[in-house]
């Protein structure tokens, strides 16, 4: 990626001593969605969470998502509201308003 934040994150991951963390590169350029799909296909864990270098999450977010999925086996994925910060201030609720449409497009 040409994004400096992504490059810094990649260097941090590559320097990790955590054996659970791997850097994967698709054999061809596939774009953001394709790269995420490639990563999901090669995941070794039961759950996958996407977090871009410019994203921030509340400290208990992953724990709450895991608790929800563990307690509701009829669901395959969870999402959250997105709040814009710094120069952009907004609350993104589109995925919740268009739940069925988003689900069909992303599964």
pTM (2 d.p.): 0.61
Residue 63 has pLDDT above 90, yes or no: yes
User: Are 49 and 96 part of one and the same domain?
Assistant: no
User: Are 88 and 40 part of one and the same domain?
Assistant: no
Domain count, the chain: 2
The per-residue b/e assignment along 77-104, b for 16 or more CB within 10 angstroms, e otherwise, is: eeeeeeeeeeeeeeeeeeeeeeeeeeee
pLDDT (tens digit, 9 = 90+) per residue, 1-29?
556 667 677 777 777 778 887 888 899 99
pLDDT band with cut points at 50, 70 and 90 for residue 62: very high
* Structural domain span for residue 46: 1-55
The Cβ of residue 45 has, within 10 Å, a number of other Cβ atoms equal to 7
The average pLDDT across 60-87 equals 84
DSSP state of 53: T
């Amino acid at each position: 990626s040409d994004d400096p934040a992504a490059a810094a994150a990649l260097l941090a991951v590559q320097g990790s001593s955590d054996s659970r963390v791997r850097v994967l590169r698709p054999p061809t350029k596939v774009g953001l969605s394709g790269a995420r799909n490639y990563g999901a296909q090669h995941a070794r864990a039961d759950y996958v969470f996407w977090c871009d270098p410019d994203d921030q999450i509340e400290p208990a977010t992953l724990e709450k998502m895991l608790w929800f999925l563990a307690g509701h086996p009829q669901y395959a994925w969870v999402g959250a509201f997105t709040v814009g910060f710094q120069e952009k201030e907004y609350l993104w609720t589109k995925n919740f308003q268009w739940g069925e449409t988003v689900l069909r497009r992303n599964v």
